[in-house]
Amino acid sequence: MKTITLRFSECEHQGDMDNYFGDILDAGGKPSWNSIVIDHDAEEGSIEVEVQDMEAFKTKLKETDCYDFII
């Protein structure tokens, strides 16, 4: 299992991170609620994710709404 940190733009509030969290779950990742960080001024957020199969995760993540907001 590998742990990565995903950073997102257009993250203005917790609701945005909730949506990204769900997309990460749908893609097969295991995001950690305790690792969520939101910079409200920069409108950016980050979250640590455990991934078992990185290639499968990337493929599925590309199909989610959050993919276009990863920086």
CATH number at residue 28: 3.30.70
Domain coverage including residue 45: 2-69
Say what the pLDDT of residue 6 is.
Answer: 98
Domains in the chain: how many in total?
A: 1
**Tens of pLDDT, residues 10-68:** 988 888 999 999 999 999 999 999 999 999 999 999 999 999 999 999 999 999 999 99
Give dist(CA 17, CA 47) in Å, integer.
8
pTM over 0.75: yes
Instruction: Please return the burial class of 26, using the count of CB atoms within 10 Å of its CB with bins 0-12, 13-18 and 19+.
Output: middle
